[in-house]
Every structure is written in C-alpha cells, then in structure tokens.
A and B are shown apart, each in its own frame.
Chain A
Amino acid sequence: MSLFALLVAFVFAIVGREGERKRTLYALRVFLEFVGVGFALAWLLYWIPW
C-alpha cells in the first residue's frame, strides 16, 4: 500500500502542481493522505462485523 501510495503521489505531483517545491509538498501530502485514509478505512472496516 505504501509503495502504491508513493508511486501514485509521484505522478499526481508531476501533473498536479507547477514548481519543484510545490510538487514535493503535494507529493508528500498525497502520499500521507493515501496512507492515512488506508489506515482509517482498515480500522473502520475492522469494527464493522458484516
């Protein structure tokens, strides 16, 4: 999941922002959001019994 998030974040940053600094920050944000949402959904689904 982390590898997937990292690779997708690279591409999103390339096409989504202009400027190296903005791209780097956007890639970091997208990566953290992917991982964070992944963990949040995993815990949410863990407590739902069906």
Chain B
Amino acid sequence: MIRLLGASVILFATTVSGILIARGYRNRPKELRQWRSALQAMESEILYGKVPIEELADHLSQQLPAPVSFFFRDLHRSLASGKKSLLEAWNETIEDFWPATSLKRAEKEIIIQFGATLGTQDADNQKKHIQLTLAHLEREEQEARAARAANEKMIKSLGFLAGLLIVLLFL
C-alpha cells in the first residue's frame, strides 16, 4: 500500500515538472508574438498619433493580454510617478517583470536595447528602430517555434517516463 502511494507520488511529481518545463516551450512563442503586436501598436501610435510614451504604456496595458500587459502597466505607473527617466523606468520594469515570463536572455537584450532608443528619436527614426526590433523578435519567434515543435511533446512524455523509470527501479 505504502509502495503504491510512494510510486504514484513520484510519478505525479515528475509528470508535473515535465508539464511545467513544456509550458515554457509553449509560452515563449506566444509571448514573443504578444511583444511583436505591442511593438506594432506602438509604431502606429507613435507614427500617426504622436502619443507620448506614458499614455502609450497605459493604452497598451489595456489592449494587450497578460503577461505583456503587466509590463506596460508597471511602466506606466513608474513613469506617472515622474521620478524616473524613461530609460531607468524601462530597465527597472524589465528586471522586475522578467521572472514572470518564459522568454530567454536573448529576448531580454533585444527589449532592453529597444528601450534605450525609445523616445529619443523623431518619428521616422523611431519607426526604423521598431522595425529592427520586430525583425529580431521575429527571428527569435521562429527559433522558439522550432524549439517548441521539437521539445514540447518530448519533455512532457519524458517527465512521465522518467517517473515510470524511477518507480520501476525501486520496485
């Protein structure tokens, strides 16, 4: 009886961790797509609406799905307090926000670099920077999709199978 219980606990734990790791693979392309749509929305608001970043962040926090919306919500709050420059606010918000995402280091670099150019250029140059960042993110997204296709199912089954292996070894 105890054995059966122990075996099922082990099996449950490994399966769950497999699912959690697989979820990272599933979420990454999704979040990358959210970032891309955030940037596209920014582009049109900057180009045609000439909306200041503070308001823009507020708009985006309402338009976009979680978790990207949280980033813009926090950015808006930080800017609205009026104590920090955009660069400081952007970088701090990214740092605070990062644990909640499934994105990797490379994406973080891209977004931080984009933040450094934001608001310092006229509309035309701003557009170029957004386009460049979009291209980078698109490349990352393709890579993330490939990784998802290759790994998501495998990791999920691997979790279950590893649990099974451990159980069998102990039996």
Q: Do A and B bind each other?
A: no
